[in-house]
Amino acid sequence: IFIDLLLGFSFLTLVFTIFSIAAMTQAINIIDGLHGLSLGTSIIITSTVSYLAFINEDITILLISLIFISSLAGIFILNFPSGKLFIGDGGAYLVGNILGILVILISQRNLEISPLVCCLIVCYPIYELLRSFFRRLISKDSHSFEPDNKHLHSFVYTRLSKICSNKIANPSTTIIILLLPTFTCFWAIFFYANNKLLLCGIFLTIFLYEIIINFTYASDRKIN
């Protein structure tokens, strides 16, 4: 209720919307470290948006989503698993920007869809972004705004690369990590009108993320 009251002011709504789109833009760029990871995550999220648009008869968002999915899929088949084509930073920013706008619009245009659906379906990339931001803020590292290898996909890839070749470890890591956005999006589809279950899905996703990253980090240190 308190957040709804704050967002009743047009200026705060504008600032929050800009911040949300910018966050999603950067979040996709952060996870663009392995073949197919950012593209696969974006396809899964956009597919969820298109399904929600379909069941709510929002033809405009449905058509835009399907066009966007087709564009992403065309690059995905060349990016995963061989890495024959990359989207680069500019491509990641563009994909994240469009994705952020679509996720906001599907809830704003369809009152039956809880805003928490938006939070849930983008939970993995956004949590990766927020976790990285606060981790760097707490560490007070002078290079805190430069790329590092302390993300979930980095830890999983490092662990797998020690037991198999890089050619196998790269796509294998992508498949493992894509289970997270797949989980969040299926949860959102089944419970898109239930706020309590959507909140449970968000906390469960964060919990699973922390389990995976801490288990991978601990096992990697044990090997070393």
Residue 149 has a pLDDT of: 77
Q: What is the largest CA-CA distance in the chain?
A: 54
3-state class (DSSP) for residue 11: helix
Alpha-carbon dihedral angle through residues 39, 44, 48, 53, given to the nearest 10 degrees: 30
Phi, psi angle pair for 222, to nearest 5°: -65, -40
Contacts by 127-132 with C-beta closer than 8 Å and gap 24+?
127/205, 127/206, 127/209, 128/27, 128/30, 128/31, 128/152, 128/209, 129/23, 129/26, 129/27, 129/30, 131/209, 132/30
pTM, rounded to two decimals? 0.90
Selection from 170, 185, 174, 166 nearest residue 69 by Cα: 185
Which residues in the chain come in under a pLDDT of 50?
A: 142
Residue 47 has a pLDDT of: 96
Phi, psi angle pair for 81, to nearest 5°: -95, -5
| Two tokens, residue 60 | 């405009």
Q: What is the pLDDT of residues 188-222, one digit of tens each?
A: 999 988 899 999 999 999 999 999 988 887 765 65
Spatial contact of 194 and 136, defined as CB atoms under 8 Å apart: no
Q: How far, in Å, CA of 158 to CA of 153, rounded?
A: 8
Residue 224 has a pLDDT of: 55
Alpha-carbon dihedral angle through residues 206, 50, 43, 173, given to the nearest 10 degrees: 40
Residue 140 has a pLDDT of: 66
Residue 144 has a pLDDT of: 53
Q: How far, in Å, CA of 91 to CA of 86, rounded?
A: 8
Residue 146 has a pLDDT of: 64
Selection from 93, 116, 112, 92 nearest residue 205 by Cα: 116
